[in-house]
Structure 1
Amino acid sequence: MSLVKGHHHVSMFTKDARMNKQFYTEVLGLRLVKKTVNQDNPSMYHLFYGDTTGSVGTELSFFELPRAGHTTKGSNSISRIGLRVPSIESLTFWQRRFNSKNVIHDSITTYAGYPALPFEDPEGLELVLLVDENTTIPSSWHYWQHSPIAEKHSIMGIHIIETQVKRAERFGKMLTEVFEYEEKMSDEEGILYKNKAHGGSNIIVKKNEGSVQKPGKGSIHHFALAVESKEELVLIEQRVQQRGYHSSGIVNRYYFESLYFRELNGILIEVATMGPGFLIDSKEEQLGEKLDLPPFLEERRAEIEAGLSPLN
């Protein structure tokens, strides 16, 4: 059995946390499950959106950078996130909703062989809703009952992460050797790699020999893959080191433990444990309501809160 259990989360930059919250909760219907700060730079928000409890594989997270400029799109980047919805009818629902909310979107099409609806968030982050009827939804994912979107059309977690890199073969080799992904398809969308443990956790690798992306608002900082425990994280760390990658070592993020490294195209990859999760310091009904801080930052709460703008 593969050590990697699928996607854990994807992390992006936003220039405006307030607008970001409005879009992801009120337009997309996700729940703000954790309002915290960047542990390496507590002056900035770190917001997590997901299902009822922010289950692994549903988490979209954002660092707020108020001075962020525009993203210049290009190679050696994580370029798009695919989010799963239940049905073809759901794509039609979302197309109508995007029209009514003035969300930039394309027509219903196909993406990596799946029925799909590409769209952008207010800062130009590229996303796509897609339908995959051939893989099972993880039992840990639970619909948020207070979402403005009915369950029959709700977003059900991360399905595809798209990368564009100059050395696609090297990136693919890393996915197969370190994370045991399987190469499944190659077409105009690039090469599709599937996770052995969860067939709905896919990564597309596109070859792009153009200019390297200049990140800004709406760009993707890194993606994270999930392992069950610290023991499995240690095994991944050994694989990473054996293949010559420089890693961060294991970092305790309180809500999970993580390992970071850059592969040879410069893409930042995190591997994170599936627990303890966001309920470690909040009750389920109170998730996302107040600023939560890891214990080592608690003594600085007054200073940190004074430097953050209210989200409501």
Structure 2
Amino acid sequence: MPTITGHHHISMLTKHAKDNNYFYRNILGLRRVKKTVNQDDPSMYHLFYGDLTGSAGTELSFFEMPRLAGTVRGTNAITRIGLLVPSADSLHYWSKRFEQFGVQHGGITLFAGRESLLFEDGEGLRLALINHAGEAVPEHWAPWDEPSVEEEHRILGMGTVEFTVRSLEDTARILRDMLGYVEASRTSEEAVYQSMAGEAFGEIVVKQEDGPNERPGKGSVHHLAIRVKDEPELRYWDAIIRQQGFRSSGIIDRFYFHSLYFREANGILIEMATDGPGFTADSSVEELGRKLDLPPFLEGRRAEIESKLIPLD
């Protein structure tokens, strides 16, 4: 049985790409590794931020939708994104940095049992910086040299992701029994699942909460993508998903990776995405994120697409 080796990326909704671009690059110190468009609706930006090359497990992606209203928070949604930082000192560093930039944040607390600093971006997206306590990260992660953030406190990559659902056990069966996640802890109202035992970079905390479904808007999470090695593994998972009675999108060529989508039992959208080809498929490492990159099937519409996009820089 193939193994899920961690998170691949996570995709959110933003109303203002320009403000989003400033926050994630200039305040969080991430690299914009790809400036492209939504392949299903190329009138909107699709921005990716991450490490030096946008390695799988470091990618935060945003779809710009200028007509979005605010998120109405509720259940059956992805409700917080964890980002790993090197140490407890890093949490104090970031608390001071957030005060400097006027970022909404709380005090240092516990998130899924890990020492963390909870905060929100300008659109209310809920995030957490998590003390990784000097533990190893995946070998393919490559630091981005962002001079405005001190090297010893830079964000490493994605950590624990929070699902809030009406039925914890329904989601547990998907993660544990279908996808092979390890159940690291469990109470009646919260459980922690890890794709790699003991590792935060593939961790999902599932919280049970009754109430109406979340109504998505700016600052909400669209989906979580989890890592699969290659297309043969993706075909394996496509068959498993269908055998378990879930509707699969089938395999889609996103040019930078191949993927499929399905909704788990509480309706949360999960993508499975391959590690390659990666964002250097059409750009050198040095030039990543600087210009508008389009997949080959959209290249013939470049003039039309660029005319509808507001410049970010």
Displacement after TM superposition at 1:47 (Å): 0.1
Equivalence map 1:43-122=2 (5 Å)? 43-122=43-122
- Would you say the 8 A contact 1:163–1:203 is kept in 2? yes
Alpha-carbon distance in 2 for matches of 1:290, 1:64: 17
Counterpart in the other structure of 1:305: 306
The alignment status of 1:6 with 2:6, answered yes or no, reads: yes
Alpha-carbon distance in 1 for matches of 2:256, 2:138: 20
Change (3 A) 1:187 1:104: farther
Alpha-carbon distance in 2 for matches of 1:188, 1:141: 35
Alpha-carbon distance in 1 for matches of 2:147, 2:266: 38
- Would you say the 8 A contact 1:227–1:274 is kept in 2? yes
- Would you say the 8 A contact 1:16–1:65 is kept in 2? yes
Return 184-193 or 120-129, whichever deviates more.
184-193
Return 6-15 or 139-148, whichever deviates more.
139-148
Displacement after TM superposition at 1:167 (Å): 1.4
Equivalence map 1:96-245=2 (5 Å)? 96-133=96-133, 135-187=135-187, 190-196=190-196, 199-200=199-200, 201-245=202-246
Alpha-carbon distance in 1 for matches of 2:255, 2:68: 27
Return 187-196 or 145-154, whichever deviates more.
187-196
TM-score by length of 2: 0.97
Aligned residue for 1:265, secondary structure, equals coil
- Would you say the 8 A contact 2:13–2:63 is kept in 1? yes
Q: CA offsets, 1:53-102, max 9 Å, x none?
A: 00000000000000000000000100000100000000000000000100
Change (3 A) 1:287 1:147: farther
Alpha-carbon distance in 1 for matches of 2:238, 2:178: 9
Alpha-carbon distance in 2 for matches of 1:97, 1:188: 37
- Would you say the 8 A contact 2:165–2:209 is kept in 1? yes
Aligned residue for 2:161, secondary structure, equals strand
Q: CA offsets, 1:249-306, max 9 Å, x none?
A: 0000000000101112111100000000000000111000000000000000000000
Counterpart in the other structure of 2:297: 296
Alpha-carbon distance in 2 for matches of 1:96, 1:250: 44
- Overall identity of the aligned pairs, in %: 51
RMSD: 1.4
- Would you say the 8 A contact 1:30–1:147 is kept in 2? no
Displacement after TM superposition at 1:196 (Å): 2.6
Counterpart in the other structure of 1:264: 265
Change (3 A) 1:247 1:173: same
- Would you say the 8 A contact 1:2–1:196 is kept in 2? no
Displacement after TM superposition at 1:146 (Å): 3.2
User: Any gaps of 5 or more consecutive residues in structure 2?
Assistant: none
Return 38-47 or 129-138, whichever deviates more.
129-138
- Would you say the 8 A contact 2:88–2:133 is kept in 1? no
Alpha-carbon distance in 1 for matches of 2:211, 2:134: 35
User: Any gaps of 5 or more consecutive residues in structure 1?
Assistant: none
Which amino acid in the other structure matches residue 277 of structure 2?
Answer: P
- Would you say the 8 A contact 2:4–2:227 is kept in 1? yes
Displacement after TM superposition at 1:187 (Å): 4.8
Displacement after TM superposition at 1:189 (Å): 7.4
Counterpart in the other structure of 2:34: 34
Which amino acid in the other structure matches residue 263 of structure 2?
Answer: R
- Would you say the 8 A contact 2:109–2:115 is kept in 1? yes
- Would you say the 8 A contact 1:6–1:197 is kept in 2? no
Displacement after TM superposition at 1:188 (Å): 8.5
Counterpart in the other structure of 2:254: 253
- Would you say the 8 A contact 1:72–1:214 is kept in 2? yes
Displacement after TM superposition at 1:147 (Å): 4.4
Alpha-carbon distance in 2 for matches of 1:303, 1:191: 48
Displacement after TM superposition at 1:2 (Å): 4.5
Aligned residue for 1:107, secondary structure, equals strand
